[in-house]
Amino acid sequence: MVVSLPEILSLGGEKKLTACLLLLLLELFLEGAEAVPNSADIENHLELGKQFLAHNQLSDALTHYHAAVEGDPNNYLTLFKRGTVYLAMGKTRFAIQDFSRVLELKPDFTAARYQRGTVYMKSGEYQQAAADFEQVLYEEPHNEHAHEQYSRIEPAEEQWVIVQDLMARGDYRNAIPMLTQLLEISPWCVAFRQTRADAYIELNDLLAAISDLRSVNKLSQDSTEGYYHLALLLYKIGHATSALKEIRECLKFDPEHKDCFPFYKKLRKVEKGISNAEQYRDEKQYQDCIQSAESVLKHEKEEQMIIYEAKRILCTCSVRNEDHGKALGYCKDALDIMKDAQILCDRAEAYIGSEMYDDAIHDYQEALGMDEHLQRAKDGIEKAKRLQKQAERRDYYKILGVKRDATKQEIVKAYRKAAQKWHPDNFQGDEKKKAEKKFIDVAAAKEVLTDPEKRRQFDQGIDPLDPEGQQGGHGGFHGGSPFAHFHHGSPFQFKFHFN
Nearest C-alpha neighbor of 466 from the set 451, 452, 482: 482
Per-residue pLDDT at 468? 63
Q: Where along the chain do the CATH 1.10.287.110 domains lie?
A: 396-459
Sign of CA dihedral 429, 430, 433, 435: negative
- Percent of the chain at pLDDT > 90 equals 58
Mean pLDDT by 10 residues, the chain (499 residues): 46 50 44 54 84 87 86 87 86 88 92 93 95 94 94 96 96 96 95 95 93 88 84 93 93 92 95 96 96 96 95 96 93 96 96 91 96 95 88 82 90 91 83 83 91 89 73 40 38 41
Can you name the CATH fold of 39-159? Answer: 1.25.40
Q: What percent of the chain has pLDDT over 70?
A: 85
Confidence at residue 21, expressed as pLDDT on a 0 to 100 scale: 47
Residue 45 and residue 34: Cα distance in Å, rounded?
A: 17
Model pTM above 0.85? no
What pLDDT was estimated at residue 293?
Answer: 96
CATH class of the region 396-459:
mainly alpha
* Count of C-beta atoms within a 10 Å radius of residue 215: 21
Give span(s): CATH 1.25.40.10, the chain: 39-159
Q: How far apart are CA 487 and CA 497, in angstroms?
A: 16
**CA–CA dist 338, 53 (Å, integer):** 49
What does the pLDDT read at residue 487?
36
Question: For 22-64, what is each residue's pLDDT tens digit?
Answer: 444 445 443 443 444 567 888 888 888 888 888 888 889 889 8
Of 256, 261, 211, 216, give the one whose Cα is nearest residue 237: 211
Average pLDDT, the chain: 85
Residue 469: what pLDDT? Answer: 54
Looking at residue 242, its pLDDT comes to: 94
